[in-house]
Structure 1
Amino acid sequence: MDDFCVFVVLGVNELPRKLISVDESLQRSIAMPPNVRQAVLFSHGRWREHTGVTVEMTDLEGGTITLGKLTPNHKCLLWDCWEGAIRRGVSTLTVKMEGGSLGNEELQYASYDELQNSQKECTKGAAPLPVLEARGKRKRGQDVKETLNKDQENVCPNSCLSDRSTPRRRVRGASRGGHTRLVAQNDSPAHMCTPEKHKTRGKQARTQTQTVSLGRPSSRWGQTLCPVDTQTAILIGGQGSRMQFCKDPMWKLCTEDMSWVAAETLAEGPTPEGRIGHTATFDPESKRIYVFGGSKNKKWFNDVHILDTQSWRWTMVEAQGKVPPLAYHSCSLFRGELFVFGGVFPRPHPEPDGCSDSLYIFNPVLAIWYQPIVNGDRPAPRSGHSACVLQGKIFMFGGWDTPVCFNDMHALDLGLMEFSAVRTSGTGPSPRSWHGCAVLSESKFLVHGGYNGNNALTDSFIFDTDTSCWTTVVNTQLSAVPRAGHSIITMVKPNTEAPTKDEEEQMSEVLPQILLVFGGGDNEGSFFSDLMTMMIDDLLD
């Protein structure tokens, strides 16, 4: 039994059955009867280098969900029917092993009954397993309605908007959070999904999957993609089809060959809970990523998690000072401090959830939050806006505060700590939120896509801070598909040769050369996992 194998236990009264092994099959599918409400998968034997096992479930209607992944650091996986989508009828459990000659491996299929022989072989002489009482993980019980309501709390604009009418102001008790429902199910605004709309679009939603390729992240929106050096970016969080939070929340992107590596098991320490609407900000001085805020269903976050990219270890900060739970805020790094503006924050019933116009600063050295004294023309409360630092100022564009969608521009002078409205010229973007924004040069940044309350958008614009002028970008690659809730970053073009010491010292002064666009949704139920790359010079020209 030293050879590597993967076993499954279907139900609390069953014995383990062998599914795959390196000597027999590298991938296999089995039928799961409708009465199976829990499944445990675990490995046995010596793990080989670069080996991982992906576990997927497919229902009768073709919807596929990635349940998780076995790795040398996570050798056991539990699925129960109370944690995910409701399963009706017989479904298929597929196990795929990474490593070896997967390209020529034919997928094997076994019925539920055919596994009885393997059960007898691998459990011969073993004592019967004790009967355990199945328990829900989060005290949610077995109530299907409760599970559905919880899954529908965070509704993205890309999932099921069949009503394209312009959003109207909510009555008392309605959500002011804009894009995210964080109120009771019966308080559904006109532009959000109601239970009836979920029924009408149920088949379309089920056609979307959260299948994770062995080589790339699952489709999602609301994630963060954070560059950490000239060849590496880190993907964190996100939400996919059926409003389910991604089972593969963390990936590493190597821009040298544009390859993805699953990274949720690479770092030690307490990882952040799955979420959307958070921010991830990299500090090149300390080589750390700061993850702040976000939301998950009815839960809101104001925690700060730090990923040290040198030791690859997570830590959670016990900060002093007060900052409210926020989602869809902006977070900008300036001189080692994080500047957090706006976002959605929860209010207790019967007051509606609201958008913030406050500025909070986090000092990582002192581990403290504080609010500075700010003068000038402060922007209106908003969420889903963008912010970027250029020439000693934070430029903030767009955003949403139901029923208003913005396309105004404000700048915060970080020396004077003073807000000012920016008077712009040229043809600028229409009102939008959840758009992508990235710095292109010392004086220019890009705005692409977003959501205007009815549709996801495809257009792109460049703003010049020297002239305060907008320029429309004509790029067929960017305008091919409407996107909202996607990630846009810029990076220095990777050097195939090892950098010299002088090149490393000058690396921080090199302007970005490549634009990367990942993920998002199209407001029609489709989510993306594609990665677009283009040269910044082509956009500027």
Structure 2
Amino acid sequence: MDDFSVYAVLGVNDPPRRLISAAGTRQCSLAVPAHVHEVVLFSHGPWGSHPAVTVELSGDDRGAIAVGTLTRHQKCLLWDRREGEMGRNSCTLTVTLEGESLVGAVNKVRLKVTDAPSNSATAALVGEPPRKRKRGQAGEQNGHPTGQENVCPNPFSSHSSTPSRKVRGKAQRGQACLFTQGEEKTTACGPQNPRVKGKQSKTPTQTGNLDGPSGRWGQTLCPIDPQTAILIGGQGSRMNFCKDPMWKLCAEDMSWVPAETLAEGPTPEARIGHTATFDPESKRIFVFGGSKNKKWFNDVHILDTQSWRWTMVEAQGKVPPLAYHSCSLFRGELFVLGGVFPRPHPEPDGCSDALYIFNPEMAIWYQPIVNGDRPAPRSGHSACVLQGKIFMFGGWDTPVCFNDVHALDLGLMEFSAVRTSGRPPSPRSWHGCAVVSGSKFLVHGGYNGDAALSDTFIFNTENSSWSSVTGSQLSAVPRAGHSIITMAKPSKQGSAADEEQEEMSEGPAQMLLVFGGGDNEGSFFSHLTTVLVDDLLR
């Protein structure tokens, strides 16, 4: 391991400079002359058991952007100033060396890249003490669009995971036209023209008060028991990530409690498009993936709801950074399907058709062998587990929007396209989905490429039929990027009617809770809408 080193090359005529070595320098800052347009990082020597070198780019008043990761399989990275987000301004490349097999108390290294005078002949190496930071990784994956039949009303030239509203009635390149009217959005997975600046929306944004979370979309709402749910993440107006990212919902009286300071340990960085999945056996919430501006995540954070402590998993195996994927729990493992991932220019992003499984006990990612009719690549879809199968609905891969249903048999590990009857929902993504019985799931709202939707449908897995729900208060407000969960209806203590109803239904009545989302007209919601599940099924 003494031979392991990481080197940097500044420009085509610069000799390699050793920055990190197992037995030598572990901390450094590298000043880069302004005329140098490229920085190459590469490793040399044996990697040992599991070290990795992650690289992030940050600058003044800008969030960190994942540049890439050096591993034993990818031993070289290139940062191009001419194509980088920071331009020629002062910026910092943060390089983190990980792995217990590298000896020494300090296992983090920082490489600062700042503009130096153009007549500088060399770059100075200066030691810098380590500090805590958030971590994200970028990667690539094969997930190219295949033959599809449902086309969005408005075709877009590139996919966008952060929806944006049309500007002057015309979709901008790399945008999906959702939410704030007249306001340009920098997408989480699509390039933007920095010279184009949209006007700020004058439409008032609906936000929460001191007693509840602010208005947002792209968050997760995760039930942890029949009367409690945890809200994580989200983004509000003007692309601002929520400063109140974590709340606890008590369904007994529909009250919110700020939960950001309730749990100890490193909390996940602000994000949207992630998933939060609760395991009732271990009483833990697993948060995976998501994006923040142009930063992508493939990290796994775990919240133990008994000790109220966050931990970040140092997982083995490979999984790409993903956002707007689905995550389903089955027999203690997490099944991640689809999603959007960063892809190099000229195609700025791509959708996945892959299945990744995370085993919490082994802390490892793996890809199983899957047969059958695999669904086309997509993101913004929904998935739920019923009768030993994962049912997958909707989503999109620009410019195509889907309304098909696929099922993954978890015993045979085989996909099949489900032939449905009844009038199906129109093609959509970023909709809400929830299981409402042992054989039925509900789909509500979403985005069809042009507008937010308010309709509601129920799918019966026993006969593969769709039915629409009319007359429900769910149809009052179009929304997309919202959260839908089911929880037990609070019963009045000592109520004979409630006790009789519970006996007849073999359990407490269930209610559907809808939170957040946007209406494609500049409003982001913070109120809760509740509907009895029995009323929807009737």
TM range (shorter): 0.5 to 0.7
Name the structure 2 match of 1:411. Answer: 407
Name the structure 1 match of 2:106. Answer: none
Name the structure 1 match of 2:166. Answer: 161
Structure 2 CA distance for aligned equivalents of residues 404 and 512 of structure 1: 39
Name the structure 2 match of 1:219. Answer: 215
Aligned residue for 1:184, secondary structure, equals coil
1:415 Cα deviation after fit: 0.3
Aligned residue for 2:454, secondary structure, equals coil
**Aligned AA (1:239):** Q
1:349 Cα deviation after fit: 2.8
What are the superposed Cα offsets for residues 499-535 of structure 1, whole Å, 9 maximum, x if unpaired? xxxxxxx9xx958711000000011111100100110
CA contact (8 A) 2:160 2:174 kept: no
Which of residues 162, 171, 186 is equivalent to 2:193? 186
CA contact (8 A) 2:188 2:291 kept: no
Name the structure 2 match of 1:467. Answer: 463
CA contact (8 A) 1:220 1:519 kept: yes
Structure 1 CA distance for aligned equivalents of residues 369 and 487 of structure 2: 34
Name the structure 2 match of 1:312. Answer: 308
CA contact (8 A) 2:187 2:293 kept: no
Name the count of aligned residue pairs: 373
Q: How does 1:58-207 map to 2 (within 5 A)?
A: 82=61, 156-157=162-163, 159-162=164-167, 180-186=187-193, 195-196=196-197, 198-199=198-199, 202-204=200-202, 207=204
Q: Please state if 1:423 is matched with 2:428.
A: no
CA contact (8 A) 2:166 2:172 kept: no
Name the structure 2 match of 1:13. Answer: none
Aligned residue for 1:214, secondary structure, equals coil
CA contact (8 A) 1:294 1:300 kept: yes
1:334 Cα deviation after fit: 0.3
Structure 1 CA distance for aligned equivalents of residues 393 and 162 of structure 2: 20
Structure with a larger share of its residues in helix? 1
Name the structure 1 match of 2:445. Answer: 449
Which of residues 465, 473, 479 is equivalent to 2:475? 479
Q: CA 1:465 to 1:338, structure 2 compared with 1: closer, same or farther past 3 Å? A: same
Which of residues 296, 300, 303 is equivalent to 2:296? 300
1:213 Cα deviation after fit: 1.4
CA contact (8 A) 1:164 1:455 kept: no
Name the structure 2 match of 1:343. Answer: 339
What are the superposed Cα offsets for residues 317-355 of structure 1, whole Å, 9 maximum, x if unpaired? 000000000000000000000000000011123343100
Structure 1 CA distance for aligned equivalents of residues 477 and 507 of structure 2: 31
The two structures have a TM-score, normalised by structure 1, of 0.64
Name the structure 2 match of 1:332. Answer: 328
1:164 Cα deviation after fit: 5.6
Name the structure 2 match of 1:131. Answer: none
Structure 1 CA distance for aligned equivalents of residues 426 and 113 of structure 2: 43
Structure 1 CA distance for aligned equivalents of residues 211 and 423 of structure 2: 40
What are the superposed Cα offsets for residues 448-506 of structure 1, whole Å, 9 maximum, x if unpaired? 000000000010000000111100101341111110000000112235559xxxxxxx9
1:239 Cα deviation after fit: 0.2
Instruction: State the percentage of identical aligned residues.
Output: 76
Structure 2 unaligned segments of length 5 or more: list them. Answer: 1-59, 64-90, 95-111, 115-158, 176-185, 495-502
Which of residues 255, 258, 261 is equivalent to 1:262? 258
Which of residues 260, 268, 276 is equivalent to 1:280? 276
Aligned residue for 1:478, secondary structure, equals helix
Q: Please state if 1:230 is matched with 2:237.
A: no
**Aligned AA (1:529):** S
Q: Please state if 1:359 is matched with 2:360.
A: no
Structure 1 CA distance for aligned equivalents of residues 443 and 358 of structure 2: 26
RMSD of aligned alpha carbons: 3.1
CA contact (8 A) 1:165 1:454 kept: no
The two structures have a TM-score, normalised by structure 2, of 0.65
CA contact (8 A) 2:334 2:359 kept: yes
CA contact (8 A) 1:441 1:512 kept: no
Which of residues 371, 376, 381 is equivalent to 2:377? 381
Structure 1 CA distance for aligned equivalents of residues 507 and 359 of structure 2: 27
1:229 Cα deviation after fit: 0.2
